[in-house]
């Protein structure tokens, strides 16, 4: 995993600074040093500090980086979250790449915390989980950010468990046939989850012995009916267009999991600034 993260950082640094930082290199001599602060510009749940630190040190191992808060910590606007000291050229060259990682991951963690808090208020014990709707190459980091925010991860790859969706059912010929084929051929430890769109699908999934039943784009009354039909014989997952404003309507007794793609695909970036305090010439 560390190798993958280093590769992603190297790719980002190469994208932004493969030919150096012509501005900083033109303005400052190589021995010029500064101390910078990274400041939160809004209330947020912090995530990505360790990645940002690695960005600075990957570019220049001689930099000194101090983290002022912890991953997953809620901070208010104006909080200094990191201090970096060393070559001014290195600080400025790594700045945007480091902030890009932080703003993306903190944005996900902040939104995830809002969903986790909303689910907790429902009092039914439902878990909010993410999906595979992630930025290519960033999945491990974005799912880490979801956990920092207090939510949970659904499968991280296609190889983790069986999830039979509408296209699998259509290609196989029926829901029951798709489940039967999966049971015959999947690893013995892989759970079989089935996506259902109607109450008739739920009945068929139960008869086929699905261990997890996803209720996709169903209304709250339909979900209540499905919960009564399933009667705890399978894990119940809800999916499809659920927002912060409607989560209370779906976090019903008997529902185990609500999957929310928005945690990763629609989280707004958090606002950070890196500041080098102005050094003014002494008065004579």
Please identify which of the residues 21, 142, 193, 195 carries the catalytic annotation. Answer: 195
Please identify which of the residues 130, 142, 204, 216 carries the catalytic annotation. Answer: 216
Please identify which of the residues 133, 147, 155, 183 carries the catalytic annotation. Answer: 133
Please identify which of the residues 41, 64, 70, 165 carries the catalytic annotation. Answer: 165
Q: Establish whether 85 is a catalytic residue.
A: no
Q: Which residues contact 162 (CB under 8 A, 6 or more apart)?
A: 182, 186, 190, 191, 192, 193
Q: Establish whether 216 is a catalytic residue.
A: yes
Pairing state between β 235-239 and 212-216: parallel
Q: Establish whether 165 is a catalytic residue.
A: yes
Q: Establish whether 96 is a catalytic residue.
A: yes
- Specify which residues 45 forms β-bridges with: 74
Please identify which of the residues 54, 83, 85, 96 carries the catalytic annotation. Answer: 96
* Residues involved in catalysis: 96, 133, 165, 195, 216
């Amino acid at each position: 995993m560390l190798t993958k993260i280093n590769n992603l950082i190297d790719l980002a640094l190469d994208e932004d600074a493969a030919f150096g930082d012509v501005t900083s290199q033109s303005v400052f001599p190589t021995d010029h040093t500064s101390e910078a602060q990274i400041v939160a510009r809004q209330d947020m749940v912090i995530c990505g500090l360790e990645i940002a630190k690695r960005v600075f040190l990957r570019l220049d191992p001689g930099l000194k980086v101090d983290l002022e808060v912890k991953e997953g910590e809620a901070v208010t606007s104006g909080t200094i979250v990191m201090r970096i000291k060393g070559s001014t050229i290195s600080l400025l060259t790594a700045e945007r790449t480091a902030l890009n990682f932080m703003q993306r991951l903190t944005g996900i963690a902040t939104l995830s915390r809002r969903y986790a808090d909303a689910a907790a208020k429902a009092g039914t014990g439902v878990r909010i989980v993410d999906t595979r709707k992630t930025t290519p190459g960033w999945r491990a980091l974005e799912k880490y950010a979801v956990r920092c925010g207090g939510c949970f991860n659904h499968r991280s790859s296609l190889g983790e468990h069986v999830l039979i969706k509408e296209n699998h059912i259509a290609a196989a010929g029926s829901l029951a046939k798709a489940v039967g084929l999966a049971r015959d051929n999947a690893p013995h430890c892989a759970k079989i989850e089935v996506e259902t769109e109607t109450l008739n699908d739920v009945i068929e999934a139960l008869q086929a012995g699905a261990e997890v039943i996803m209720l996709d784009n169903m209304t709250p009354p339909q979900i209540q009916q499905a919960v009564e039909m399933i009667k705890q014989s399978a894990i119940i997952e809800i999916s499809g267009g659920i927002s912060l404003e409607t989560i209370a309507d779906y976090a019903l007794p008997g529902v185990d999991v609500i999957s929310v793609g928005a945690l990763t695909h629609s989280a707004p970036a958090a606002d950070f600034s890196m500041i080098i305090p102005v050094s003014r010439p002494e008065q004579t």
